[in-house]
Amino acid sequence: MSAATSRELLEARIVREREALAEALEDLRAQARAKVDLGRRVRERPSAWLAGALLLGFLWGARR
């Protein structure tokens, strides 16, 4: 195998690895966005958020 062929194979592998890393990074970003998406969490369990808001309001109002 010549040095040029070896270099071409290495460059092709680097390109594939960069593409795989970019895809993995985008997946990680999507997962992170899903974890901190408050709107989605409220839509999933609205009654728990409502109860928490009422409790917090009561406690906040009782301190005054």
Contacts of residue 34, Cβ cutoff 8 Å, sequence gap at least 6? 40
pLDDT at res. 10:
94
pLDDT at res. 48:
95
Residue 41: domain span: 3-62
Tell me how many domains the chain contains.
Answer: 1
In the 3-class helix/strand/coil scheme, how is 9-51 assigned residue by residue?
HHHHHHHHHHHHHHHHHHHHHHHHHHHCCHHHHHHHCHHHHHH
Q: Tens-of-pLDDT digits for all 64 residues of the chain? A: 687 789 999 999 999 999 999 999 999 999 999 888 989 889 999 999 999 999 999 999 987 6
CA distance 13 to 26: 20
pLDDT at res. 1:
67
